[in-house]
Structure 1
Amino acid sequence: MESSAQAIATNSLILIVTIVVVTGIMLGRVSEIIKVPDVILYLIAGILIGPAFLNVLSIEAFPIENNFILTFGSAFILYEGGKEINLKVLNKVKVSVGMLSTVGVVISAIVVGIVAAKIFNLPIMTGLLLGAVIASTDPATLIPVFKQISIKEKIKQTVVSESAFNDAVGAILSSALLGIVMSGQFSASKSFEELLISAVVGLGAGILVGYLLIVLVSDKRIGVFHSYAPIMSMLTVTLAYELATIFHGSGYMAVFTAGLISGNKKMFNIWLEDNDYNSTVHFTESISTICRMFIFVLLGTQVNIKALSQYWLPAIITVLVLMFIARPIVVLVSTAFDKKAQWTFKDKLFMMWVRETGVIPAAVSGIIVSMKVPGYEIISSVVFMTILVTLIVQASTTKALAKKLGVLEETEEKLLQEVA
C-alpha cells in the first residue's frame, strides 16, 4: 500500500514537471515574438490549465510537491539575484540600497498593510502579511529589462541590488508575520529578536557555505571539484538553505548571501576555469528559467476566479496604493539619507516607477495558499493583480520613461535620438 502511494506521488511530480515545462517552453517562445514579459503568459496559462478552467493541473492534490517546487524555486532565484550584484558599484550607493531594501520594505508593508486591512476588513496582522508579501521587487524581471536598455550604472546597480536584497528581507518579514498570523500571538520585542536572529544566522550560513563551495570548485589547489561546478551551484542553494533552517535562520537570506559571494568571487581572489565558469552560467540560467516557469504557472493554477471577481476592485486599489503612495514614500525616505550618491529628482522619479513585483511574492503567496492561511484568497488575488499590473504597466514603459527623464547612458541616449 505504501509503495503504491509513493508511486502515485512520484508520477504526480513527473506529471507536474512535464506539464509546466512544456507550457513554459512554448509560451517563452511566444513572449519573444510578441514582446510581452513571459511571466504574464505563464500566469494566464496557469489559470487556463488550473481548476478554474481546464483542470489539467490541480495543485491541491499535490501539496508536498507544490511546497517543494515553490521553496526550492524561490531559493534558487534568490541565489541568482545575489550573483547579479557588483559589490564594488554597490559600495558607492550602499546607504540608498540598505535603506530601500530594509526600511523601505517595512514602510511599504505597513502602508499597504493598513490600507488593505481597511479595504478588505482584515485583521491588522493579516493586512501587514499581505503588505509584506508584495513589498519586494523582482530581480528576475528587472534584469532582463535592463539588458535591453542601458540605464546609468549607478541607478541600475541600485535598483537591481535593492530588488535582490529586498526579496530576502521581504521573504523573512513575510515568514515572521505568517508565524504570528498562524499562532495568533504577537510580541514586538520577541518578533524583532526572532527576525534579527533569522537574518544573522542566514547571513552566517550563506557566507560559510558560499565561500567553502566556491573555493572547492576554483582553480586553487583545494578546488578538487572544479569539474562539477554547475552541480555544486545547486548544492550551494540546498546546503545554505538547510543549514540556516536547522539553526533557526532564514534560508532565503542564506542562499542570497551565498549568491553574493559567488558573483563577487574575484574580490576574494577566487577564480574559475573558463570551461567551468561557462558551463555553470548556462546551467544556472536554465535552472533559474525553469524555476520561474514553475512559480508563475503554479501561481496561476491557484488563482481563484470567484475570489478574483469578488475582490478585483479593492485589489487594484491596493496595487495603486503600492505604486503611487507607498513606493514614492519609500524612495524619498531611503534616498534622503544618502548625500554621497547625489541623486537628482529625475533619478528618484525613475526609481519610484521601476518596482515590478514577481517571483518571491508569487512563491510566498503559493505557500500561503497551500497552508490555507486565514485570508489566503484575498492575499492570492492581490498578489496576482500586483504582478499583472506592475509588469504590464511598469515594465512596458521603463524604456520610454528612462528616455524622458534622461537617465539613459549617453551612448544609448544618442542612439535613440538618431533613430527618432
Structure 2
Amino acid sequence: MDTLITSTLGLLLAAIAVALIARRLHLPYTVGLVLAGAVLAMARVHTGITLTHEIIYTLILPPLLFEAAINIHWRELRQDALPVLVLSIAGTLIAAATVSAGMVWGLGWPLPTAALFGALIAATDPVAVIAMFKDNNLTGRLRLLVESESLFNDGVAAVLFTLVLTWAQASGAPQSLPGVALSLGWTVAGGILIGLATAALVLGLAGRTTDHLVESTLTTVAAYGAFLFAQHLGCSGVLATVTAGLVIGNLGILAETDASRITPHGRQFVLALWEFIAFIANSLVFLLIGLAVGGMHITEPTEIGLLAVIALVLLSRALTVYPLCLCFARSRWAMPLPMQHVLWWGGLRGALGLALALSLPPALPYRDAILTATFAVVIFSVVGQGLTMPPLLRGLRLIPRR
C-alpha cells in the first residue's frame, strides 16, 4: 500500500510539472503527459504502476464519463439529438466495418481478429476528446456535438466489442438471432435502467440533506456505483454511468434553483470537485499511456503495417463523418464543412480502446498484435492529432488566433 501511494504521488508530481511546462510552451496538456511518460519509460524510471484494464475500467473511466455527462445540458443535446445518435450508432458500425475489412484485405488478419480490432478502435474516446477541447477552450455547438457523440459511441463500441468477442471466442460459429438480440438488449437496456435507478436514488437522497459534502459524496457513489453494478450484472457500465450523469446533471447540478434537488452551494461544489477529479484521472491515464508506449517492443505489425493501420482508422472516421453529415445538409441540423473537418480530425482514440484491448484473454490469437496496433493509433491520436488540432481550429477560424 505504501508503494502504491508513493508511486501515485510521484506520478501526480510529474503531472503538475508537465502542466506548468505545457502551459508555458502552449502545448496541449495531454500531449505533454504522454511524451513525459514515454521519456520516463525510456529512462527506465520505475513508477510502480502499470497500465491495466482494471485501472482504466474501474478507476479512470467512470469519473471521466460522469464528469462529461453532468456538464451536458439536455436542452442543448435535445436540439442535436438526431445527428448525435446517427453519428454515434451508424458511425460506429461504419467505422468498425471499414477497419475490419481493411485489416483482413490489407494485413491478412483473420476475420474474428480484425472484427475485434475494428470494434474496439471504432469509438472516439471521450477521455481524449474532452481533454483536447478543454485545452483549446472550445465551446458552443461544435463542442457539444463532438463530446456528446463521443460519449454515446463510446457505449455503442463497448457493446459491439462484447458481442464480437463472444463470437470470436466461439471460433466464428454463428449465433442464433434471438440469442444475439437478447444479449444486446440486456447489455444496453440494463445499463440505461441501472443508470436511471442510480440517478433516482442519488437525487432522492440528496433532496433530504443540505450538506454539500454529502451531496458531492452521493455523486461520487453514483459515478462508480452505476458503472461497477452494471458491469457485475453483465450490462454496459459505460451506458449506466453516462445515463446517471446526464440525469443527475440536468435534474440536480445544472437545474434551476427551484427545480434542483441539490442546494446552490452543493451544485458549485460538485462541479468544482468533478473538475478536480477529472484532472487527476486525466493526468494518471495519459502518463501511464506514455509509460506503456515508451517500454514497448514492436514485433507485429511492423512499423509500415502500423502506419497503414493509422491511415485506415483515419479513413474509417472520414467515411463516418462526411457521408453522415451530408444526410443533414438540407435540414436544420446542417453542419458546416469546417465543423465536419473538426469532427473528423478530432475523433481521437484513447483510454477506452486501450482498456478493451487490454481486456482480451491472454490466449486469444493475435492479442499482442491488437495491443500494438491499438497503442500506435492512440499515440498518433493524442500526439499527432492533439498537436495539430489548435492550428486547425485557428485556421478554420473556430477559435481566436493568438
Q: TM-score range by the shorter chain?
A: 0.7 to 0.9
Residue 296 of structure 1 contacts residue 362 of structure 1 at CA under 8 Å; is this kept in 2? no
Residue 137 of structure 1 contacts residue 355 of structure 1 at CA under 8 Å; is this kept in 2? yes
The match for 1:202 among 167, 191, 202 is: 191
Which residue in 1 is equivalent to 2:91?
104
Which residue in 1 is equivalent to 2:244?
258
Residue 229 of structure 1 contacts residue 276 of structure 1 at CA under 8 Å; is this kept in 2? yes
Deviation at 1:144, TM superposition (A): 4.5
Deviation at 1:202, TM superposition (A): 0.3
Where is the helix percentage greater, Structure 1 or Structure 2?
A: 1
| CA pair 300-278 structure 1, distance change in 2 beyond 3 A | same
Residue 58 of structure 2 contacts residue 228 of structure 2 at CA under 8 Å; is this kept in 1? no
| CA pair 314-285 structure 1, distance change in 2 beyond 3 A | same
Structure 2 counterparts to residues 56-71 of structure 1, below 5 A = 56-57=46-47, 67-68=54-55, 70-71=57-58
**1:99 corresponds to which letter in structure 2?**
V
Residue 89 of structure 2 contacts residue 153 of structure 2 at CA under 8 Å; is this kept in 1? yes
Which residue in 2 is equivalent to 1:362?
354
Distance (Å, rounded) in 1 between the aligned partners of 2:156 and 2:377:
19
Structure 1 residue 248 and structure 2 residue 240: aligned?
no
The match for 1:351 among 333, 339, 343 is: 343
- Aligned to 1:306, the other structure's residue is in SS state coil
Residue 30 of structure 2 contacts residue 131 of structure 2 at CA under 8 Å; is this kept in 1? no
Identity %: 21
Residue 311 of structure 1 contacts residue 381 of structure 1 at CA under 8 Å; is this kept in 2? no
- Aligned to 1:137, the other structure's residue is in SS state coil
Which residue in 2 is equivalent to 1:160?
147
Which residue in 1 is equivalent to 2:103?
116
Structure 1 residue 214 and structure 2 residue 212: aligned?
no
The match for 1:396 among 363, 387, 390 is: 387
The match for 2:161 among 163, 169, 174 is: 174
TM-score normalised to the size of structure 1? Answer: 0.82
Deviation per CA, 1:42-64: give whole Å up to 9, x if none. Answer: 334444545x761614667x97x
Which residue in 2 is equivalent to 1:288?
278
Residue 137 of structure 1 contacts residue 357 of structure 1 at CA under 8 Å; is this kept in 2? yes
- Give aligned pairs, total: 393
Distance (Å, rounded) in 2 between the aligned partners of 1:17 and 1:360:
21
The match for 1:376 among 359, 367, 384 is: 367
Deviation at 1:170, TM superposition (A): 2.0
Which residue in 1 is equivalent to 2:317?
327
| CA pair 18-248 structure 1, distance change in 2 beyond 3 A | same
Deviation at 1:306, TM superposition (A): 2.0
Deviation at 1:141, TM superposition (A): 3.5
TM-score normalised to the size of structure 2? Answer: 0.85
| CA pair 179-48 structure 1, distance change in 2 beyond 3 A | farther
Distance (Å, rounded) in 2 between the aligned partners of 1:160 and 1:203:
19
Which residue in 1 is equivalent to 2:296?
305
Which residue in 2 is equivalent to 1:136?
123
Gaps of 5+ in 1: 1-9
Deviation at 1:285, TM superposition (A): 2.0
Distance (Å, rounded) in 1 between the aligned partners of 2:323 and 2:176:
23
Distance (Å, rounded) in 2 between the aligned partners of 1:128 and 1:112:
8
